[in-house]
Amino acid sequence: MDTQMSFQPVGPAPAGRTAISAYNPAYDPLVSPPGRGQDYAPTYWVATAGEPPEDDGPVNGDIDADVVIVGSGFTGLSAALTLARDFGVKAVVLEANRAVWGCTSRNGGQGQNASGRLYRSQWIARWGLATAKRLDAEIREGFEYWKSLVAQVDCDAQPGGHLYTAHRQKKMAFLENEARVMREVFGYDARMLSREELRERYVYDREAVGAMHEPDGVGVHPLKLAYGYMRQARALGVRIHPGSPVLGWRAENGGVRLQTPNGYVRARRVAFATGGYTAQGVNRLLDNRIMPVLSNSLVTRVLTPAERDAAGLKSTVFITDTRTLRFYYRLLPDGRMQIGSRSALRGADAQHPRHLALLREGLARKFPTLAGVDVDYSWWGWVDVSHDMMPRVTQPDPAQPVYYAFGYGGNGVAFSAHAGKRLAQRMMGKDGVAWDLPIYDSPLPGHMFAPFRRLGQGLLYRWYYLRDEVL
């Protein structure tokens, strides 16, 4: 059945040109349609990535394709790249807004050897040791694949690993256990650092009582990296159509017919790589599968060497703290500070100054000499948190040629490369992949209280705050 969604037409764009409409800061995937040709969020990455690569303009007339990918972030581009490079399939990528418009142009650029929101010790608790080890091998392979892509693109890569800082003394035991599990069970060189070692070698975060350092981890300029994926994919014949939201879907002759504002796109197979921007009502297999969570980010002006010294910033290694509503930050290669954390519950409230104030306060708590420093960029984006905290790359209904990959829970910069690759392989029926792993062998779970999830989220945020700061 066609599902017609309401949207504001901005008029047909001439073939090969993208009609750009204004960026909507109040966009909210639970209530807004997918957007059409929206300009980028005002991020530091957009300001510094250079001109976007050429694209193929909005869909203008009906198209037939073997494979269609919906969404042009890291996941969709990686899937299209794999299809072209490894299978000779020139996919058509449909993007509602400008190319790479979603989280991929808005994140912190922290590339971790991880997937989803669960720690490795939690994998063992949930699935047992044998499955946790197989999952680790898969995620580790994915991280190596991502690093091989990073090595091909000029994206300001900052190797050096990842620091988890304990924001309170009671979190040290948790980190110590995680470091032990990483070392003894999975063979990683994860090490604990005392407050003094952390300060001496990396950062003088006034809240941090110690940290776990894991050597895997590369900070990147995410948009330069994504533009790199895009250039490679287009060079192999992939077509990328921005300004082409998929508004509805119908099964047709064993394939699908996708409705865009200016034409139908018929395909034998379709993959959704729409992340936290997955709108309700496009396809019932996608509805209510994630909790879109708004995450905020700011970038300061360039700090002078003296300011960096006074703040205690010695390294560009990226950092997250142990709050559930965590702060993540890093010193960027050009001497600016980037910090991010939670934001509003609803898109309509995203611009309220209290959310930016929360980030400023977080920065000042960690680095008192940076209190009141000028902020040059501030933005937000919708993170795709799944109801069981782990992603899926899957075909949710074997009777339908529809696939998806999302639910990364704020850990998608690196894992999306592998997820896109596996998505492509899955569509092409590749054998020899461990498809029986928990991130592949089932659809994303729904939630029986999905219509009330914002209410539940508000209560959870209060509980997390108490647990993070008071109890």
Q: Which residues pair with 339 in a beta bridge?
A: 298, 329
> Angle of helix 120-127 relative to helix 171-180, nearest 10 degrees?
70
Q: Closer to ligand FAD by CB, 255 or 391: give it.
A: 391
Q: Of 89-97, 141-149, 232-240, 456-464, which part binds ligand FAD (CB under 6 A)?
A: 89-97
- Taking CB under 6 A as the binding criterion, the range among 66-74, 177-185, 307-315, 438-446 that sits at the site for ligand FAD is 66-74
Site residues for ligand FAD, 190-249, by CB under 6 A, read 245-246
Spatial contact of 453 and 29, defined as CB atoms under 8 Å apart: no
Q: Cα-flanking dihedrals φ and ψ of residue 85, to 5°?
A: -70, -45
Burial class (CB in 10 A: 0-12, 13-18, 19+), 280: middle
Asked whether position 408 contacts ligand FAD by CB under 6 A, the answer is yes
Question: Closest Cα partner for 81 from 270, 232, 225?
Answer: 232
DSSP letter (8 states) at residue 39: P
- Least Å distance, CB 62 to ligand FAD, is 17
Q: Distance (Å, rounded) from C-alpha 422 to C-alpha 399?
A: 20
- 96 part of the interface to ligand FAD, by CB under 6 A: yes
Minimum CB separation from ligand FAD for residue 218, in Å? 11
Is 76 a residue that touches ligand FAD (CB under 6 A)? yes
The pair of structure tokens assigned to 451 is 């219509």
Q: Of 69-77, 118-126, 204-212, 348-356, which segment contacts ligand FAD by CB under 6 A?
A: 69-77
How many residues in total does the chain contain? 471
75 makes contact with ligand FAD (CB under 6 A): yes
CA count, 13 A, side-chain hemisphere, 128: 3
Is residue 106 involved in binding ligand FAD (CB under 6 A)? yes
Toward ligand FAD, which CB reaches closer, 259 or 369?
A: 259
Identify which of residues 136 and 307 has a Cβ nearer to ligand FAD in the complex. 136
144-183 footprint of ligand FAD as x/- string (CB under 6 A): ----------------------------------------
Q: Which is nearer to ligand FAD, 32 or 369 (CB)?
A: 32
Q: Using CA atoms, how far apart are residues 307 and 311, in angstroms rounded to an integer?
A: 6
Q: Which residue is associated with the tokens 């991929």? A: 104
Burial class (CB in 10 A: 0-12, 13-18, 19+), 428: middle
Residue 305 has a CB neighbour count (10 Å cut-off) of 9
Q: Does 410 bind ligand FAD (CB under 6 A)?
A: yes
Question: In Å, how far from its chain's centre is CA 9?
Answer: 28
Stretch that binds ligand FAD, among 109-117, 147-155, 175-183, 435-443 (CB under 6 A): 109-117
Q: Report the residue number, 110 or 394, with the smaller CB distance to ligand FAD.
A: 110
The answer to whether the Cα torsion of 232, 236, 238, 240 is positive or negative is: positive
| Cβ at position 282, least distance to ligand FAD in Å | 5
Of the pair 94, 181, the CB lying nearest ligand FAD is at 94
Question: Could you count the other beta carbons within 10 Å of the beta carbon of residue 395?
Answer: 21
70 near ligand FAD, rule: CB under 6 A: yes
Pick the stretch among 102-110, 118-126, 138-146, 230-238 that binds ligand FAD (CB under 6 A): 102-110
Q: Which of 430, 385, 388, 422 is nearest to 405 (CA)?
A: 422
Site for ligand FAD, rule CB under 6 A: 34-35, 70-76, 94-97, 101-104, 106-110, 112, 245-246, 273-279, 282, 295, 297, 328, 340, 381, 383, 406, 408, 410-414, 416
